[in-house]
Amino acid sequence: MSDVIKGRLDRGARWAIVGLCANLVLAGGKMVAGVVGRSYALIADGIESCLDVFGSLVVMSGLRLAAVPPDADHPYGHGKAEPLAAAVVAIALLGAAVGLAAMSVREILEPHHAPAAFTLGVLISVVVVKEVLFRLIRNVGQDIGSRAVEADAWHHRSDAITSVAAFVGISVALVGGEGYEAADDWAALLACVVIGSNGARLLRPALAEIMDAAPPDHVVAAIRDAAAGVGGVDALDKCRVRKTGLNYYVDLHVRVDGAITVLEGHRIAHRVKDAVRANHPEVADVLVHVEPQADATGRSVGLGG
């Protein structure tokens, strides 16, 4: 594993720890305030933060495992642990949405007191902290190309959304007075829809990566350009790229003069590999298949007949 990839994995793990610590503090604060202030939306928000703690632990573990070098049982490394961690976090979001929705419906059907006014101040603080964490961690995830870190960031955004919904619901309950006590429960129910949609949105690319889906076109185009610029390469045929964690693995078919020696063809293949990896440090390995260039009739040059 290159130092660049290792540095990215370490950076992602550090931010997962930051998120973990923030979630522990906020989860405890929200649940205590929710119980004292009689706000079910705030209690539900605290439960969602507890799930965020779980998500941060999963992301951190996934990044640590992805950094383990290849071994006899895993010759391509352990990079799949990273998108697997992202998928687990996304599924946890979906599960949280369903669970919180069920509890919100139950509270709507059961009469209860209106929340205390001080819970609004707690929610404002939570929204500010969570939105800042979301923006910082999302930028890190996009910068290092980690699905898991991005999923962890969206967990923070989902927490901020539930807090905004709880703030609106509690405000309606306090202003509306008698008959509006369940407004914060309705707000929590609405937030569940947003949380569930975020979970589904994050799960799709994580599963695609696990299934070795092709990366974005610009990634493949950049790799093809690096290979095509190597001296001795007449043309490119196939170029297959798959992402494993933060690394890419490339299969290339290059066409060369059919009259050159096997040794020269071997040297060209190595130059192609070196050029691709030099231009793209995230590429862990390049498998180059050398083919003879065809003439105008379609015959391979240098092979005779």
pLDDT tens digit string along 34-48?
788 777 667 767 776
Judge contact between 145 and 66, C-beta under 8 A: no
R_g of the chain, CA atoms, integer Å: 26
- Amino acid 241: pLDDT: 92
Spatial neighbors of 253 by CB under 8 A, at least 6 apart, are 236, 237, 238, 239, 289, 291
| Predicted pLDDT at 35 | 82
Bridge partner list, 244: 247
The per-residue pLDDT for 216 is 84
- Per residue in 81-116, pLDDT tens? 888 888 888 888 788 788 878 877 887 787 666 677
> What secondary structure letter does DSSP report for 68?
S
Cβ atoms of residues 104 and 40 within 8 Å:
yes
Contact 44, 103 (CB under 8 A): yes
Q: Which range is most confident: 148-152, 164-168, 286-290?
A: 286-290
DSSP 78: S
Q: What is the mean pLDDT of the chain?
A: 81
Residue-range domain boundaries for the chain: 3-210, 217-292
CA 200 – CA 204 distance, rounded (Å) = 6
DSSP 8-class letter at 229: T
Q: Which residues fall within 8 angstroms of residue 303, CB to CB, at 6 or more apart?
A: 258, 292
What is the CATH T-level fold of the domain 217-292, as seen in this structure?
A: Alpha-Beta Plaits (3.30.70)
What residue has token string 């030099």?
278
- Of 186, 203, 38, residue with least CA distance to 100: 186
Q: Give me 114's structure tokens.
A: 């209106």
Token representation of residue 86: 């992202």
Residue bearing the bigger pLDDT, 270 or 181: 270
> Element (H or E) spanning 162, and its range?
helix 147-176
Task: List the end-to-end C-alpha distance of the chain, in Å, as a whole number.
Answer: 46
3-state secondary structure of 104: helix
Fold of the domain built from segment(s) 3-210: Alpha-lytic protease prodomain-like (1.20.1510)
Q: Kindly state the tokens that stand for 278.
A: 């030099």
Phi, psi of 141 (to 5 degrees): -60, -45
Region 118-143 average pLDDT: 87
- pLDDT given for residue 40 in this prediction: 67
**Contact status, residue 224 vs residue 237, Cβ threshold 8 Å:** no
**Which one, of 207, 212, 180, 28, lies nearest residue 115 by Cα?**
180
